[in-house]
Amino acid sequence: MRRSAYLFLAVCYVVVPLAFGGNNYLMGLVVSSLIVAGVAVAWALLGNLGGMVSFGHAAFFGVGAYASALLSMKLGVPVLLAIPLAGLIAVLFSVAMLPALRLSGPYFALAILAYAQIFRILATEMEFLTHGSGGISQIPVLPTIAGFDLSSRTGQFLLLLTLLAAFLATYDLIRRSHYGIALRAMHDSEDATRVVGVNSVLLKSWMLFVSAFMTGVIGAVNAHVINFLEPDYAFSGGWSVLPIVAAIFGGYRTVTGPAIGAVVIYLVDQLVFKALVSTGHQIILGSVLALMILFAPDGLLPLLRNALRRMRGGSHA
């Protein structure tokens, strides 16, 4: 990750609360966009490094959300401890997906989609634990730490931005490591990497675990932000599709692209497209994405970088 990305995140810590802190609605949208961004980064990590296109991240999101809600409500686990534990529980559930790692391309995508559906059905049917389709309400809010209320919109924003920064740094660290290099190599030449000693299944498993953990944590935070859960929401296909759209829009081959894509696409959709077409505004979003894939398949971030490079080149000339 470039130094400019860290600088941008640091500026966001200060500027966003100062600029929009007074507007609860706007901060709510920013918080929601960061939730999508967190899942988009987790999805891109699995797709870009692990080489696996997942249509089932809703499974990890939902498991994380329910795990944190139940841990804090039924066992009295403090919310800030329940959130990482929920991430670990999402990892535990992802173990069930390990057999799918032997599949590739559309077969893996379909298998993981099926897993997400299974988890949704389980959450609906296990009424004794999840209250079924009736859902769970009054999930504890985020706590107050050292006098700072994390349940406020600004608090939620700062917590999510911190998590996002940690995810991006982790992603970047893995990508630059020897494991990251081997993972990149595996995409088109798996036999060539295995024959030099790379345990491809193990590396893919680790990427699945890291991605599941990140998604589970974001799902958990979301549960404590909205304070209500029901299976159709927690395991909604939207949690699988929106991060993919965001990652592709932002540039899923880059580290920061998926996060930027998520924030841009979510905010533009909610603030601009929704104002233009209140019902069915997603159709504009779909059209923009289609144009993006056709004319800038590498995504928004590489597009901006190239434009910036051209401008600099032009100014030097």
Partner 1 sequence: MLELDHVTVRFGGLTAVQDVSLRMGSDQVVGLVGPNGAGKTTLFNVISGLVRPASGSRVLFDGRDITRLPLHRRARLGLGRSFQIPQPMHELTVRENLIVAQRFGAGRVDPQKIDRILELMELGEQAERDAANGLALQELKRLEVAKALATEPKLLLLDEVLAGLETLAKRAFMAKLRELHETLGLGILIIEHDIETISSLCHRVAVLDFGQLIADGTPGEVFSNPDVIRSYTGAESAETQHA
- Sequence-distant (6+) residues with CB within 8 A of 147 are none
Centroid of chain to Cα 272 = 23
Instruction: Name the minimum Å distance from CB 176 to partner 1.
Output: 12
As measured in angstroms, the least distance from the Cβ of 195 to partner 1 is: 6
CB of 48 to partner 1, least distance (A): 11
Identify which of residues 131 and 184 has a Cβ nearer to partner 1 in the complex: 184
Closer residue to partner 1 (CB): 49 or 242:
49
Cα separation, 294 vs 23, whole angstroms: 37
Contact 299, 253 (CB under 8 A): yes
CA nearest neighbour of 37 among 265, 258, 285: 258
Considering the complex, what minimum distance in angstroms separates the CB of residue 192 from partner 1?
4
Three-state SS string over 166-228 comes to HHHHHHHHHHHCHHHHHHHHHCCCHHHHHCCCCCHHHHHHHHHHHHHHHHHHHHHHHHHHHCE
Half-sphere exposure for 189 (CA within 13 Å, toward CB): 8
Q: Which is nearer to partner 1, 187 or 310 (CB)?
A: 187
Q: How far is CA 135 from CA 74, 119, 138, in A?
A: 14, 15, 10
124 versus 193: smaller Cβ distance to partner 1:
193
**Shortest distance, position 57 Cβ to partner 1, whole Å:** 24
Summarize as ranges the residues that interact with partner 1 (CB under 8 A): 178, 181-182, 184-185, 187-189, 191-200
179 or 233: CB nearest partner 1? 179
Q: How far apart are CB 198 and partner 1 at their closest, in Å?
A: 5
Measured from the CB atom, is 74 or 194 closer to partner 1? 194
